[in-house]
Structure 1
Amino acid sequence: MGNSVSGIRALHRGQQNRFQRLPDSHKDSLGGPFPSTTHRCHHKPKRCLPLHPCGGVPVSPLLFHPNAKGSQIVMDLAQRSVKRQASFCNGITFSNRPIALYEQVRLKITKKQCCWSGALRLGFTSKDPSRINPDSLPKYACPDLVSQSGFWAKALPEEFANEGNLISFWVDKKGRVFYRINDSSPMLFFSGVRTTEPLWALIDVYGLTRGVQLLGEKKNCLHTVVKPIHAKSKCYALTDCKMKY
């Protein structure tokens, strides 16, 4: 009987020695130990634009590229305002950095000139403006530049090219470009933009539009879903979107 009791006590001491108290840093929220094995993710990363939901904080301020611009473009020192000196063309400009998906490029028409037809051209390019020779830029974004691979743009309707108008445009993950005038509902502009590589904004100060200014972002949106207002409509609405002014 004495030997049996001694054996049980020895077994109990051995079990206590095998289990050590874990420090709090090695325990989960329920007080238990974390599993000793680690999980490794073998998914290959996709090469695509960063997701930038509707006006989140950008990496750096959006400015005009200082060098890649048409021969008639004059730019201020802050790189926020550009003006076409003469004629109605040679006014192509680009952003100084890539634009993220859903990031709104916001600009103001600061100068309108009569006696010309056509207006501002807006779009995107996958070509780094830093590698574009300004002397190689054509007179027109449409149709000359968009006929080349990696350039997408379209003319803004003339009725929206009034002096003082605020214009926002952006691209979604499906390559669709939307725009809005002042506080109007978003409208589908065009589609077909390749979003698997970085994109820079393309702004052609053309025709009736003689001067534009880039503006800072206004809205912070946690989640954006763009849906057509009704069937077969070109007008779209932002839903499930919390705006912060």
Structure 2
Amino acid sequence: MGNNFSSVSSLQRGNPSRASRGHPQNLKDSIGSSFPVPSHRCHHKQKHCPPALSGGGLPATPLLFHPHTKGSQILMDLSHKAVKRQASFCNAITFSNRPVLIYEQVRLKITKKQCCWSGALRLGFTSKDPSRIHPDSLPKYACPDLVSQSGFWAKALPEEFANEGNIIAFWVDKKGRVFYRINESAAMLFFSGVRTADPLWALVDVYGLTRGVQLLGTQTLHTGRASSSLSFLIWKMGHG
């Protein structure tokens, strides 16, 4: 990513042991919702509901990182497609520049891994417009700090998937379930409980082992094909 990154104020480099002690395994990484959950239907504010893509259509505006609302350790390149954490293991929360659509896959490539930390990339969504969030108000961690607030949903990517060069795609369906896939693997259920009645922005916390990521653009799922395959996935998880 070269020298195209804009500079922000530096914090003191954290202690690796602090990351491990501060986030024991019994600490919840997300809202902890059980599967499945009732769908969130739009009864009153239909005009605010993010539309589901019927296959093939993409928003006219490219998906980029929000240029201003980001953690204090984030460096962003001039294209707003790549970010990296300059120091420590936290203070690296980022958002998308626009709302994502239902079934729109957010695709990220892990460009840098730092092996001295524990934990990895946190992924999710928010119904809060990042343009209305002051960067100084962002907590150090998406999980558990940010997800304890209303309108934020996120979870930690398993460390074994946080290898440099991996491509992660994640998306939300109309029932508020979040799925992800690694490279070209089968889709996996990530978490549920996202309120889809309001616009949703992507949330990416460049945490721990993950030092840098790059947005690769988005892809869409054909809703009919997605519904049948994901329904089978839910059934399989319940009968495994």
- TM class by shorter chain equals 0.7 to 0.9
**Amino acid corresponding to residue 67 of structure 1 in structure 2:** H
2:52 and 2:102 map into 1 onto residues whose CA distance is: 5
- How many residues are paired up? 193
Q: Is the 8 A contact 1:188 1:234 kept in 2?
A: no
Query: TM-score scaled to structure 1, two decimals?
Result: 0.74
1:206 and 1:155 map into 2 onto residues whose CA distance is: 9
- The verdict on how the C-alpha distance between 1:179 and 1:53 changes in structure 2, with shifts beyond 3 A counting, is farther
2:53 and 2:82 map into 1 onto residues whose CA distance is: 24
Identity score, percent: 74
Using CA pairs under 8 Å that are at least 6 residues apart, name the structure with larger relative contact order, 1 or 2: 2
Q: Does 127-136 or 221-230 show the bigger shift?
A: 221-230
Q: Which runs of 4+ in 1 moved over 6 A?
A: none
Instruction: Give the 5 Å matches for 1:67-86.
Output: 67-86=68-87
Give the SS at the match of 1:215.
strand
Query: TM-score scaled to structure 2, two decimals?
Result: 0.76
2:234 and 2:102 map into 1 onto residues whose CA distance is: 24
Instruction: Give the 5 Å matches for 1:21-170.
Output: 46-47=46-47, 48-53=49-54, 56-170=57-171
Q: Deviations over 1:70-128 (max 9, x none)?
A: 00000000000000000000000000000110000001000000110000000000000
- The verdict on how the C-alpha distance between 1:54 and 1:211 changes in structure 2, with shifts beyond 3 A counting, is farther
Give the SS at the match of 2:61.
coil
What residue is the counterpart of 2:231 in the other structure? 227
1:217 and 1:201 map into 2 onto residues whose CA distance is: 12
2:238 and 2:213 map into 1 onto residues whose CA distance is: 26
Q: Deviations over 1:195-219 (max 9, x none)?
A: 0000000000000000000002356
- How far 1:229 moved relative to its partner? 3.9
Which entry has the higher C-alpha Rg, 1 or 2? 1
Q: Structure 1: give runs of 5+ residues left out of the alignment.
A: 1-42, 236-245
What residue is the counterpart of 2:192 in the other structure? 191
Q: Is the 8 A contact 2:93 2:203 kept in 1?
A: yes
Q: CA RMSD in A?
A: 2.1
Give the SS at the match of 2:69.
strand
